[in-house]
């Protein structure tokens, strides 16, 4: 009985700690166009389209933030969330699915997002996408043609770009980290080449006037996005040459010169993805691709 009681106490403490880490999070609302907004708090950037068709939402951060996010949405619209798009399956973009589903939102995502959420015992029973697509989908919401397109094996194996055609706004999900090195989840289908291809596809969709909501970081421009793409290409090229020169993973991980043009290791030391971590990921991703294509 004592052992059981200790387990219960531990579970309650863990739940309280998880909730507590979000207590001080503030949800900020940034106007992007006359009816599109970017919300930031903890986790991935949220996109919101408002209008006569209701609220069209992209990503939803963590479950404990749903009430704060809902309150923030109510400052810009009195309509309910009609559709919720998950740009990929990671918890900082899908953690609120169950809460928004319960409030009436219809969840939309790539096929692989549903598969990965369904395979996770924490998310298998509810909050799953009820509409999925394999390549592209288009929604007609709030006077925008909203184009969803799958980008293969980029940040994960289920990423989607979301482009509001008439408003000229692009949400990239985590295929674009503005101002930081990206997290490429190679264990779940992500790859450096796929991330490059995703940026290339996104750049083809937009023009100089497009406003870009990245997965993380500040609202971006095409110039920011192009810089990110070029960084990915240059790092890929440098690491590939190092592999051809028989450099080991440890050696490449230590080669700050590969990435210092963009961020020094000191500048990225407190980031989720540091310079050494990024170089290591690129090395492993390239090597894996070489093995696959042998």
Q: What integer pLDDT is reported at residue 124 of this predicted model?
A: 80
Choice between 294 and 48, residue whose per-residue pLDDT is larger: 48
pLDDT tens-digit series, residues 2-49: 443 333 333 333 444 455 789 999 999 999 999 999 999 999 999 999
Contact between 205 and 170 (Cβ < 8 Å): yes
Task: Mark 158-183 as b/e (b = at least 16 C-beta within 10 Å).
Answer: bbbbbbbeebbbbbbbbbbbbebbbb
Strand order of the β-sheet with 106-110 is 28-31, 36-40, 46-49, 55-58, 81-85, 106-110, 131-133
Nearest Cα to Cα of residue 205 among 176, 235, 236: 176
Assess whether pLDDT exceeds 70 at residue 154: yes
pLDDT tens-digit series, residues 93-131: 999 999 999 999 999 999 999 999 999 988 887 899 999
> Residue 20, Cβ neighbours under 10 Å: how many?
10
pLDDT band at 216 (very low <50, low <70, confident <90, very high): very high
The H-or-E segment that residue 120 falls in is none
pLDDT band at 289 (very low <50, low <70, confident <90, very high): confident
Instruction: Please give the structure tokens belonging to residue 124.
Output: 């298998």
Which domains, from first to last, does the chain contain?
17-221 (3.60.15.10)
Nearest Cα to Cα of residue 166 among 190, 141, 186: 141
As a whole number, mean pLDDT of residues 239-252 equals 97
**Tell me, what DSSP letter sits at residue 220?**
B
Assess whether pLDDT exceeds 90 at residue 140: yes
Computed over every residue of the chain, the mean pLDDT equals 93
User: Distance between CA atoms of 58 and 93, rounded to whole angstroms?
Assistant: 9
pLDDT tens-digit series, residues 77-89: 999 999 999 999 9
Q: What integer pLDDT is reported at residue 12 of this predicted model?
A: 35
State the residue for tokens 């500048």. 267
């Amino acid at each position: 009985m004592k052992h059981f009681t200790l387990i219960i106490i531990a579970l309650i403490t863990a739940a309280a700690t998880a909730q507590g880490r979000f207590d001080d999070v503030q949800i900020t609302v940034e106007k992007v166009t006359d009816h599109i907004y970017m919300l930031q708090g903890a986790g991935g950037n949220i996109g919101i389209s408002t209008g006569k068709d209701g609220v069209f939402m992209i990503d939803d951060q963590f479950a404990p933030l749903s009430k704060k996010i809902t309150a923030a949405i109510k400052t810009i619209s009195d309509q309910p969330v009609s559709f919720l798009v998950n740009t990929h399956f990671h918890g900082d973009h899908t953690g609120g699915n169950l809460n928004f589903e319960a409030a009436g939102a219809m969840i939309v995502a790539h096929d692989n997002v549903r598969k990965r959420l369904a395979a996770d015992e924490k998310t298998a029973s509810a909050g799953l996408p009820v509409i999925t697509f394999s390549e592209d989908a288009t929604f007609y919401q709030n006077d925008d043609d909203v184009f969803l397109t799958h980008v293969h094996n980029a940040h994960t194996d289920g990423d989607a770009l979301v482009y509001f055609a008439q408003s000229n706004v692009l949400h990239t999900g985590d295929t674009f980290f503005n101002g930081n090195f990206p997290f490429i989840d190679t264990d779940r289908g992500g790859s450096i080449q796929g991330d490059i291809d995703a940026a290339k596809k996104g750049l083809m969709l937009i023009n100089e006037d497009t406003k870009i909501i990245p997965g993380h970081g500040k609202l971006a421009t095409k110039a920011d996005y192009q810089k990110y793409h070029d960084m990915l290409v240059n790092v890929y090229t440098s690491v590939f040459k190092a592999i051809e020169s028989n450099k080991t993973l440890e050696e490449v991980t230590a080669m700050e010169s590969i990435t210092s043009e963009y961020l020094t290791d000191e500048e990225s030391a407190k980031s989720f993805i540091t310079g050494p971590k990024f170089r290591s990921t690129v090395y492993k991703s390239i090597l894996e691709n070489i093995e696959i294509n042998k």
